């Protein structure tokens, strides 16, 4: 009887030990047996939609600036370099044919529109004005600053031989050149009526002046005044329109005296980009012939 009692106690001890081990193992498990591990969800891989860019000429700032000044429109476009790129890309709101804009492009391939255009804001510069001709108001202010700077920097005095010319005046001048040298040669030195930058009121033919008087346009390029103007006119919004070696683009022989006003912003970009023709600066075709 005693042996059977001890045997029963041994069995109960083994059962108790097995239960305790089960409890311990179950308690240490990371996941209770009654729970099922859920799969981890991955983040969405769908791309975020990219907003459709608004075309330049439909942007609110540009639309508003179209009614403002040239400088305001250039700023709204993103500056002179952005303006140049937009024009070269064909932005319709930046019209190169608008004669009221400082960036109007007039050459043998692009006539003024209308052909007999006359600026509405002509004024007379307070400088040596040989022929007594006017320019557009902004060009007058810029030219007066240029002349004052040349004097202040010790270069000497600069005068203007010719500024604005009407369609009729250009017609007579061109006819004289044809009579004097034939049409082929005339086309290299004089614009046909309706194709002249002088008719825009944005161009000045400059001459060097001294105490004894002013010399001719042919004397300008080699003079101290002409060399200074070639290097510094951009600071005041002017460019040398017909440079040496570019006849195949402009259609004209060199005219170092022919200064074209395009505004300070564009003139600075023209200078910084080392451009030598307005056609290339604006991304347009050469205009060597009519």
Active site residues: 255
- CA–CA dist 199, 119 (Å, integer): 8
Provide, for the chain, the percentages of residues in helix, strand and coil under a 3-state DSSP scheme, each rounded to the nearest 5.
45, 10, 45
Cβ atoms of residues 75 and 65 within 8 Å: yes
The C-alpha angle 68, 74, 77, rounded to 5 degrees, equals 105
- CA–CA dist 155, 161 (Å, integer): 18
Cβ atoms of residues 250 and 241 within 8 Å: yes
- CA–CA dist 278, 290 (Å, integer): 17
- Residue 246: strand, helix, or coil: coil
Cβ atoms of residues 118 and 218 within 8 Å: no
- DSSP letter (8 states) at residue 123: E
Phi, psi (5° rounding) for residue 108? -70, -20
Pull the structure tokens for residue 102: 């400082």
Residues whose CB is less than 8 angstroms from the CB of residue 20 and which lie 6 or more positions away in sequence, other chains included: none
- CA–CA dist 81, 238 (Å, integer): 17
Measure Cα distances from 171 to 140, 158, 167 in Å.
Answer: 24, 28, 6
> Among 185, 136, 142, which Cα is nearest to 165's?
136
């Amino acid at each position: 009887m005693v042996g059977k009692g001890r045997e029963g106690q041994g069995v109960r001890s083994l059962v108790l030990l097995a239960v305790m081990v089960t409890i311990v193992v179950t308690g240490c498990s990371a996941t209770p047996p009654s729970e099922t591990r859920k799969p981890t969800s991955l983040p969405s891989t769908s791309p975020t939609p990219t907003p459709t860019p608004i075309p330049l000429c439909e942007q609110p700032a540009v639309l508003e600036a179209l009614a403002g000044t040239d400088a305001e429109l250039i700023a709204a476009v993103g500056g002179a370099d952005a303006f140049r790129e937009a024009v070269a890309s064909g932005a319709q709101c930046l019209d190169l044919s608008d004669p009221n804009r400082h960036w109007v492009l007039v050459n043998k391939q692009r006539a003024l529109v209308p052909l007999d255009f006359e600026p509405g804001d002509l004024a007379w510069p307070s400088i040596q004005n040989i022929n007594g001709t006017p320019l557009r108001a902004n060009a007058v202010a810029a030219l007066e600053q240029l002349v004052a700077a040349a004097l202040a920097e010790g270069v000497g005095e600069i005068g203007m031989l010719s500024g604005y010319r009407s369609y009729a005046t250009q017609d007579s001048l061109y006819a004289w050149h044809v009579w004097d040298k034939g049409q082929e040669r005339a086309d290299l030195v004089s614009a046909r009526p309706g194709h002249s930058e002088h008719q825009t009121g944005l161009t000045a033919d400059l001459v060097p002046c001294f105490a004894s008087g002013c010399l001719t346009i042919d004397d300008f390029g080699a003079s101290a005044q002409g060399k200074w103007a070639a290097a510094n006119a951009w600071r005041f919004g002017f460019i040398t329109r017909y440079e040496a070696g570019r006849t195949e683009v402009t259609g004209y022989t060199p005219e170092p005296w022919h200064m074209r006003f395009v505004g300070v912003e564009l003139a600075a970009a023209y200078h910084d980009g080392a451009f030598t023709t307005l056609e290339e600066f604006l991304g347009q075709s050469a205009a060597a012939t009519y």
